[in-house]
Amino acid sequence: MSRIGKKPITIPAGVTVSVKDSVVTVKGPKGTLTQEVDRDIIVEVAADEVIVKRPTEQIRHRAMHGLYRSLIANLVKGVTEGYKKELELVGVGFKAAHTGNVLDLALGYSHNIIFEIPKELTVSTTTEKGQNPKIFLESADKQLIGQVAAKIRGLRKPEPYKGKGVRYADEIVRRKAGKAAGK
């Protein structure tokens, strides 16, 4: 039996969870999120908790049991606390600025990169003297914020020799030794 799948999800105050036609809808102070659940997985909403059950012990059902429990738990956490990602631009001349939900990045290419952020996310940038420029993303949707952060990082991945590029704030870039000097 899945340890994660068996664990009930507690519903905090101010959050409502409803299930209709295998679509779970979670409403809270930070917004409304929906997740489509496989038709075989059973989602029950009790007074203050959500329980995810599987019909059989098939490998497919066992795999989806823990998956959908985690996805629903992420929805509940997202509408109550929200999610934050912090990206750091490491490199000489790398800059980040935002106007509304449009991010303007100078990453060492011949032209600036204009990146449009989805309306579900809020973006902010900081540039302090002596510090690398930082990009802060906030959203209730964990999947969307991870996807957008990965796309921004993919514009200039950190390279292993000097460590230049866009990286997550908590990311550690393994550095390689440069070319050995000749005789």
pLDDT at 149 (0 to 100): 96
Contacts (Cβ under 8 Å, ≥6 apart) of 19: 25, 37, 43, 44, 45
Q: How far apart are CA 103 and CA 138, in angstroms?
A: 14
Domain total in the chain: 2
Same domain, 158 and 96: yes
Give a yes or no: residue 173 inside a domain.
no
First to last CA, the chain: 63
Cβ atoms < 10 Å from Cβ of 99? 8
By DSSP bridging, strand 102-106 and strand 113-116 are: antiparallel
Query: Which pair of structure tokens corresponds to residue 112?
Result: 């600036």
Domain that holds residue 121: 83-168
Give a yes or no: residue 181 inside a domain.
no
pLDDT at 94 (0 to 100): 94
pLDDT at 127 (0 to 100): 92
Give a yes or no: residue 88 inside a domain.
yes
Give a yes or no: residue 174 inside a domain.
no
Q: How far apart are CA 173 and CA 156, in angstroms?
A: 13
Cβ atoms < 10 Å from Cβ of 142? 19
pLDDT at 183 (0 to 100): 61
Report the CATH number that the domain containing residue 122 is assigned in CATH: 3.90.930.12
pLDDT at 5 (0 to 100): 85
**Global confidence as pTM:** 0.88
Element (H, E) at 6: helix 3-6
Domain boundary among 60, 80, 100: 80
Give a yes or no: residue 177 inside a domain.
no
Chunked mean pLDDT (size 10), the chain, 183 residues: 82 92 93 93 91 91 92 94 95 93 93 94 93 95 95 94 93 88 65
pLDDT at 67 (0 to 100): 93
By DSSP bridging, strand 95-99 and strand 9-10 are: unpaired
pLDDT at 4 (0 to 100): 85
Q: What is the pLDDT of residues 75-89, one digit of tens each?
A: 999 999 999 999 999
Same domain, 43 and 108: no
Helices (H), 12-162: 59-80, 142-154
pLDDT at 2 (0 to 100): 59
Same domain, 38 and 73: yes
